[in-house]
Amino acid sequence: MSITIESIACWLVDIPTIRPHKLSMTTMGCQTLTIVRMSCAQGVVGWGEATTIGGLSYGAESPEAIKSAIETYLAPLLCGKTFSGTAALAQAMNGSVKGNTFAKSALETAFLDAQGKALGVPVSALLGGAICERLPVLWTLASGDTEKDIDEGKRLLAEGRHNAFKLKIGARELATDIRHALAIGAALGDDVSIRVDVNQAWDMTTAIKGMHQLQEGGIDLVEQPIPLWDRQGLITLSQRFAIPILADEAISTSHDGYALASGGFTGAFALKIAKAGGPAQALKLAHMAQAAGVALYGGTMLEGTLGTVASLHAWSTVRMQWGTEMFGPLLLKDDIVARPLTFSDGQVTLPSGPGLGIEIDTDKLRHYARQ
C-alpha cells in the first residue's frame, strides 16, 4: 500500500536514567531520544525514534545533528511524495543524503508504523512476519562498581527479569577489568550467561591477553574488543579463540558484514537499526549473515520504547542465536508511551496491534521535549 507523506515533525526528548551507565568512552546519566511524527494522507500518523549514546562520544551522529538532518534535508525531500514501501523510501533518502543512518532509521520506522496502521497489520508482517512473540533480553551491568553490579544482578535474577548479563569494560586497566568480570561471573553462578563489551577500547596485544583470561574464566562472549577499523584483527581474534566475538561498531550494513564474513570471521553480528538506516535495512545484514553462517544478536542504542519496539519487530523475523539486549526502556526513569513493554522470565513481549503496536503519550512527550 502506497503512503503519501504530508508533514514531518521532530523533537529532542531528554529522559534521566535510573543510575549512571558507565561505558568505556563515557558515563550516561540522561538519554536523549530524537522523536519523529510522520503525518500521512487519510489521517494516518507514524512515529519513529533515533537514539545514540553519549552525544558524539560514541559515534558521528549526535541527537542535535539527527534532528537537523531530518528537518533541513530529509523532511523537505520526503514531504508531498508517495512511497510504496521501504525500498522506494530508502532509495529516495540515500540518493540525496549520504550517511546519517540514525536520522534515516527514525524516518523508516515512522513510515513502517504508518503503513502498518493503514493496512491494519504489525510492522513485523511488513518485514517478513514474526516467527516468535517473545524474545530473550539481557541486562547490562554498568555501574562500574563490582559489588553494586553483583547486587543488581542478584536482585534481577531473584525477580526473574533477566538470566543473562553484559558487563561494560575497557575504561580501566586490563587486570582491573578482568577481576571485575570474573568476580561478577563467579557471584552470579554457572547457570547465568555473562558477556563483556569492550567498546573498542583494547589494542590487539591487550585483546589477546584479555580474551585468553576471559575464556579461561568462563565468559561467554566478547563484544568489539578492538577498534572498528581493524577488520583483520577481529577476524584473527575470532579464529584464535574459542570464546565468540561479537562484531558491533565494525558492522553497520550488509557490505560491512560481507567483508568480515568473506574474510573468515566466525563470531556473531550485532544488528542495530540505527546503524543500518532502519529496520528493513538492518535485516539486509541479518540475511547476509544467515547465508554466511554468522550468528545474530539484537543490539540496542539504548533507545526508549519506540525505538526498542521498532527493533523487536525486525528481530522477531529472524533467529537471534545470542538473543537481544533491548532493555533500553528499563534504563530510563520514564518514557513517552502510554503502556510500557512487558519484561519477564528473561524475555520481552512483542506488542500486538497495527504498526508498531504502541501508543504515544503526548503529554509526556511535551513534558520531556527540549525547549
Instruction: Tell me the per-residue pLDDT of 27-83, one tens digit each, with 9 for 90 and over.
Output: 778 999 999 999 999 999 999 999 998 778 777 899 999 999 999 999 999 999 999
Side chain identity, residue 30 = C
Q: Which positions are annotated as active-site residues?
A: 168, 325
pLDDT digits (tens, 9 = 90+) for 296-321: 999 999 999 999 999 999 999 999 99
Start-end of H helices in the chain: 63-69, 75-78, 86-96, 101-119, 123-126, 146-159, 174-188, 204-216, 231-240, 254-262, 273-276, 279-292, 305-315, 328-331, 362-368
Asked if pLDDT for residue 24 goes beyond 70, the answer is: no
Domains of the chain with bracketed CATH: 3-120 (3.30.390.10), 126-349 (3.20.20.120)
Q: Say how many Å lie between the first and final Cα of the chain, rounded.
A: 37
Residue 177 contacts residue 210 (beta carbons within 8 Å): yes
Cβ contacts of 98 within 8 Å, gap of 6 or more: none
182 backbone dihedrals φ, ψ, rounded to 5°: -70, -30
pLDDT digits (tens, 9 = 90+) for 94-105: 999 999 999 999
* Chain center to CA of 259: 21
Asked if pLDDT for residue 208 goes beyond 90, the answer is: yes
Looking at residue 56, what is its pLDDT? 80
Residue from 126, 117, 177, 128 nearest 149 by CA: 177
**Alpha carbon of 68 to those of 35, 128, 180: distances in Å?**
12, 32, 40
**Alpha carbon of 175 to those of 146, 163, 167, 226: distances in Å?**
14, 26, 15, 17
12: three-class secondary structure by DSSP: strand
CA–CA separation, 127 vs 353, rounded Å? 15
Question: What is the chain's alpha carbon radius of gyration, rounded to the nearest angstrom?
Answer: 20
The H or E element spanning position 246 is: strand 245-247
pLDDT band at 204 (very low <50, low <70, confident <90, very high): very high
Exposure string of 169-183, with b = 16+ CB inside 10 Å and e = fewer, is bbbeebeebbebbbe
| Mean pLDDT, residues 237-243 | 97
**Which residue bears the cell 573468515?**
264
Looking at residue 100, what is its pLDDT? 97
pLDDT digits (tens, 9 = 90+) for 263-283: 999 999 999 999 999 999 999
The H or E element spanning position 247 is: strand 245-247
Residue 347 contacts residue 134 (beta carbons within 8 Å): yes
Looking at residue 21, what is its pLDDT? 78
Q: What is the mean pLDDT of the chain?
A: 95
Residue 340 contacts residue 102 (beta carbons within 8 Å): no
Cβ contacts of 173 within 8 Å, gap of 6 or more: none
Residue percentage of the chain with pLDDT more than 90: 92
